[in-house]
A and B are shown apart, each in its own frame.
With several copies, the nearest count.
Chain A
Amino acid sequence: MSPYFAASPDSLVDDGLAGFALAHADLVHLIPDPGYVTAAAPSPGRVVALVSGGGAGHEPLHAGFVGAGMLDAACPGRIFASPHNRQIYEASRAVAGSGGVLHVVKNYTGDKINFGIAAERLQHDGIRCARVLVDDDLATDSADIAVGRRGTGATVVVEKLLGAAADQGLDLDALVALGERVAAGSRSLAVATAAHTSPATGSPAFALPAGQLEYGVGIHGERSGSTRPLTDPASLVADMADSLVIALGLIPGDRVITVVNGLGGTTPLELYGVHHHLAAALADHGVTAQRHLVDSVVTALDMRGFSLTLTRTDDDLTALWDAPARTAAWKA
């Protein structure tokens, strides 16, 4: 039996969702078959509904961000497996606004395919549907990776900003344009000192010798291409910040939203310590960290690690960040 408190990997998801819906009955409704969550009190001003989803194991993403000001529905798959198209299709039908549905999709082949099939079905039903692809992970920005950068920590930023914009009644095209701008202005990097526990085997997904750091991990517990000695966190965070600043082409005076995100097994003390180091590193670059989130919001089960996300911001985006949201997990 695995160290998870769950009778099986499937019941880890099913019981978790049931308990989530029970705990937050004021915020969400769960439709167990085919498996999606909708906002109990969606934002009134919207013409376009926001739907996201992805493999389970990244909680509170996405269901924790369903509610007024963020998502209208979320579709959780099995652990680390994209939801199937019918989940997405039915969730989208259930919440679609007069102006259609916008899918927020993390850039993974499985997510793209399943959201893509659902979109075809929605369009066939006469429901307008568009997609914003989140692809912020700098570690997978490589000519060797034909599928492009993974979608990771920036997903929460995209969901928050698009949610606030949707509340203002923006139409599908405007939301797509905004979402693409936010995604293009976001980069993330993640590191880990220990793999997650595989729910299938009960053992760590990979073995990492003590004192070693997996640099550039994703949120599915895959290892990265690069293993290096673990250095002190101040210089590690400064290195990571340098790479993100360069990738986004940030110059002194530029403003960003920062997310320090725990991957699951990382303690709040560590995350806040990282935030402290990140603030110093950005100050060295003359970059203003205008808003921030320090929390475990896009996890990889119980992986011991963290990600940093920087998103370029301006007055408009910062105002969207500050707009109210009422979901189970939004805390900024």
Chain B
Amino acid sequence: MTHTATTWLRTFAAAVLAAEPDLTALDQATGDGDFGANMAGALRLVQSDLDSLPPGAADGEVIAVAARVFLDKVGGTSGPLFGLLFQELAAAAGDGLTSDALATGAAKGLAAIQRVGEAEVGDKTLVDALSPAVDALRGCPDDLASAFAAAASAAESGAESTAGIRARRGRASYVGDHAVGVSDPGAVAVGLLFRAGA
């Protein structure tokens, strides 16, 4: 089942690299403009670490590659938070990434992110995308692709909903009304993550 996780992460990496200018622009408008570069730099590292992974590695090992990169080599706010998410997804995936594993990993990842970052839904952070995705995954059919699709749709509308919000957490909280009308880049990236598996 190596193929599943590898394809997912490579698709996610490609999506982030393609979206880097947009993510930069969103973080420029709502924060400090480093989110695009931070995620792109991380995913380039993930790509090259995946290259040197032995063929036949289990899904959990594959996702653990991303977890290690994000936790140990990527800073910013987004680096460790995505790292926590990947860490839980890797643990849940084990030998094979199933829709159940995705649901469990995402839920545990969300919990870890909230423990560390203390954001609630409505604070205009990636939690606004991840939390509805976790809800959508709960009790999802046993088909990984449709689980990803359901999570992606939920995350994307969660991300869209952040545009209307005046932020209370994250860097957008500093810029007041300037961030209203602009989506949170971290939430958008969470949408890309699930969409990459769909």
A43 is an interface residue with CB less than 8 A from chain B: no
- In the complex, what residue of chain A is closest to B23 when comparing beta carbons? A200
Q: Please determine whether A144 and B166 come into contact, CB atoms closer than 8 angstroms.
A: yes
CA distance A79 to B28 in the complex (A): 13
Pick out which of these stretches binds chain B: A128-136, A145-153, A290-298: A145-153
- In the complex, what residue of chain A is closest to B74 when comparing beta carbons? A84
Q: Please determine whether A222 and B171 come into contact, CB atoms closer than 8 angstroms.
A: yes
Q: Please determine whether A82 and B169 come into contact, CB atoms closer than 8 angstroms.
A: no
A interface majority secondary structure: loop
Q: Please determine whether B77 and A77 come into contact, CB atoms closer than 8 angstroms.
A: no
Q: Please determine whether B175 and A225 come into contact, CB atoms closer than 8 angstroms.
A: yes
Q: Please determine whether A9 and B37 come into contact, CB atoms closer than 8 angstroms.
A: yes
Q: Please determine whether B38 and A81 come into contact, CB atoms closer than 8 angstroms.
A: yes
Q: How far is the CB of A158 from chain B (nearest CB, A)?
A: 21
Q: Please determine whether A79 and B117 come into contact, CB atoms closer than 8 angstroms.
A: no
B96 is an interface residue with CB less than 8 A from chain A: no
A21 is an interface residue with CB less than 8 A from chain B: no
CA distance A146 to B24 in the complex (A): 24
A222 and B72 contact, Cβ closer than 8 Å, known pairs A146-B169, A200-B37:
no
Q: How far is the CB of B178 from chain A (nearest CB, A)?
A: 6
Q: Please determine whether A109 and B77 come into contact, CB atoms closer than 8 angstroms.
A: yes
Q: How far is the CB of A301 from chain B (nearest CB, A)?
A: 10
Q: Please determine whether A201 and B74 come into contact, CB atoms closer than 8 angstroms.
A: no
Q: Please determine whether A77 and B33 come into contact, CB atoms closer than 8 angstroms.
A: no
Q: Please determine whether A82 and B33 come into contact, CB atoms closer than 8 angstroms.
A: no
A85 and B71 contact, Cβ closer than 8 Å, known pairs A78-B38, A78-B41:
yes
B34 is an interface residue with CB less than 8 A from chain A: yes
Interface string of A201-216 (1 = CB under 8 A from B): 1000110000000000
- In the complex, what residue of chain B is closest to A83 when comparing beta carbons? B75
Chain A residue contacts of B170, Cβ below 8 A: 109, 147
Question: Within A92-150, which residues are at the interface with B (CB < 8 Å)?
Answer: 108-110, 113-114, 116-117, 139-140, 144-147, 150
Q: Please determine whether B174 and A81 come into contact, CB atoms closer than 8 angstroms.
A: no
Q: How far is the CB of A114 from chain B (nearest CB, A)?
A: 6
A145 and B76 contact, Cβ closer than 8 Å, known pairs A78-B41, A200-B24, A200-B37:
no
B191 is an interface residue with CB less than 8 A from chain A: no
Chain B residue contacts of A147, Cβ below 8 A: 168-170, 173
Q: Please determine whether A80 and B117 come into contact, CB atoms closer than 8 angstroms.
A: no
Chain B residue contacts of A277, Cβ below 8 A: none
A64 is an interface residue with CB less than 8 A from chain B: no
B158 is an interface residue with CB less than 8 A from chain A: no
Q: How far is the CB of A120 from chain B (nearest CB, A)?
A: 11
- In the complex, what residue of chain B is closest to A227 when comparing beta carbons? B178
Q: Please determine whether A145 and B37 come into contact, CB atoms closer than 8 angstroms.
A: no
Q: How far is the CB of A121 from chain B (nearest CB, A)?
A: 10
Q: Please determine whether A78 and B34 come into contact, CB atoms closer than 8 angstroms.
A: yes
Question: Within A151-179, which residues are at the interface with B (CB < 8 Å)?
Answer: none
Q: Please determine whether A220 and B28 come into contact, CB atoms closer than 8 angstroms.
A: no
A200 and B74 contact, Cβ closer than 8 Å, known pairs A116-B116, A145-B174, A146-B168:
no
CA distance A9 to B33 in the complex (A): 12
- The contact of A113 among B21, B81, B174, by CB within 8 Å, is B81
Q: Please determine whether A222 and B31 come into contact, CB atoms closer than 8 angstroms.
A: yes
- In the complex, what residue of chain A is closest to B32 when comparing beta carbons? A220
CA distance A150 to B175 in the complex (A): 12
Given contacts A144-B166, A200-B36, 18 further A-B contacts (CB under 8 A): A34-B73, A55-B34, A79-B37, A81-B37, A84-B79, A85-B75, A109-B117, A110-B79, A113-B117, A117-B71, A139-B174, A147-B170, A147-B173, A200-B24, A201-B25, A205-B33, A218-B174, A220-B171
Chain B residues in the interface with A (C-beta under 8 A): 21, 24-25, 28, 31-34, 36-38, 41, 71-81, 116-118, 123, 166, 168-171, 173-178
List 7 A-B pairs, Cβ < 8 Å: A80-B32, A80-B34, A81-B37, A110-B75, A140-B174, A198-B33, A201-B21
